[in-house]
Amino acid sequence: MISCVDLFCGLGGLTHGLARGGVRVVAGVDTDEQCRFPYEANNDATFVQRDVHELPGKELQKLWPKKSSYRLLAGCAPCQPFSTYSRKGRASRTDEKWGLVSDFGRLIDETSPDFITMENVPQLADHPVFEEFLKSARGYHIWRGIVECRSYGVPQTRKRLVLLGSRLGPIELVSPSPTDEQSRPTVRNAIGHLRALSAGEADPADSLHRACRLSKLNLRRIKRSVPGGTWRDWSPELIAKCHRKTTGETYPSVYGRMEWDAPSPTITTQCFGYGNGRFGHPEQDRAITLREAAILQTFPESYEFLEPGEVPKFSTMGRLIGNAVPVRLGEVVAESLRKHLRRIRRKLKTRRKRP
C-alpha cells in the first residue's frame, strides 16, 4: 500500500486521481479554506489548512500512518510565477510562490518519503529554482518529462511538466494506453450532453452549470465567432482597440470558440470568461460554464464542489478548477507508481529464489 500526503492539494484533483488509481491519500495540505468542503466531501482524506512554507518536516511526518508500507509526497506548487500567462517581468520579479517549490524540496529532505511526484507548467524546468529542487531529490531515481495530457485521455490541450521519484529504483511514467490513444477525447464527447444555456443562465438542477453574462457588444461578437476562429472573423465595428495595435500583441487566441471535435484549450483560472481565451462554447452564445470546465479537467460529474444551496462565485471556482491537476493525470501517476512497485517486488522475489 502507498500512502500519500498531497501538498498544495487545492480542491482535490490530484488526490482524487491518485485514489482512483489505487493510492491511499491520507491528507491534503493547502492554505485556502475554501478547498476544505470539496476536498473532504469527495475524498477519504483530511484537509489540513496550513502554509507549506511554515510546515516543519516533523509535523508532516505525523500525517502518514505509522504502519504505512510506502510513503508518497506529492507537491504540485502553484504555477502562476512560471506560466506563459504571467511572463511579463518574470525574469526580474521576485515572487514568493517560487519559494514553494523550494519548500517542497525542503520537506523531501526532512521526511525522506519513498516516492515523490510533481506536476507543473513546462516553463518551471527552465528556472533555477527547479535545479535547486533536483538537488533536494538526490538519492532518488528521477523521471521527468513534458506530458501532453490529451494523450492520456484529458480532453484539452494541456502540456505539463511531470516528475516522479523513487528511492527503490528506476521509475517512469506509464505510456498512454490504447484506449487513451484511440479515443483522443474531444469537447463534444466531454460536454456535448449537458443542458443548453444562454449567457447568464444557470441549470436549476446543477448550480455549477452556470454561464457568465455577456455585454451586448460581446454577445454580438460571439454570434459572429466561428469554432476555431478568431476575432479576425468579425466585422470592423466589433474589433477591440487592442486588436488594432501594430505592436504585434494582437491576442489572436482571445474571444474564440472551442471546436466540437477537437480538444479544448488549456483550462485556466479565467476560463469562464469569453474574452479570456478560446473559451466560447462551440455553438451556444456564451462562454463555457464552471461545470464544463470541471469536466474538461476530468472531474467526474458527481464531484461535489459546493455545499448544498451554495451559489458559486465565478472568480473563486474558476481559480480552483483552473489550478487543479486533471484527475486523469493523477490516475496516470498512480498507475505508474503501482507498476514500479510490482517490478521492484518481482526483482526481490527473483533474488530470494537464487541459490
Integer angstrom CA distances of residue 71 from 5, 23, 142, 352: 8, 10, 16, 24
CA dist 90 and 73 (Å) reads: 28
Cβ–Cβ under 8 Å, residues 25 and 63: no
Provide the sign of the torsion angle of the four alpha carbons 266, 269, 275, 279, taken in this order.
Answer: positive
Q: Which three cell numbers stand for residue 13?
A: 484533483
79 is catalytic: yes
CA dist 230 and 298 (Å) reads: 26
Strand order from edge to edge, sheet including 70-75: 46-49, 24-30, 2-7, 70-75, 115-120, 159-166, 141-148
Could you say which of 9, 35, 76, 79 is catalytic?
79
CA dist 225 and 283 (Å) reads: 9
Give, in degrees to the nearest 5, the angle at Cα 58 between 56 and 64.
115
Nearest to 7 by CA among 126, 80, 18: 18
- For residue 135, report the phi and psi dihedrals to the nearest 5 degrees: -65, -35
Which amino acids are annotated catalytic?
A: 79
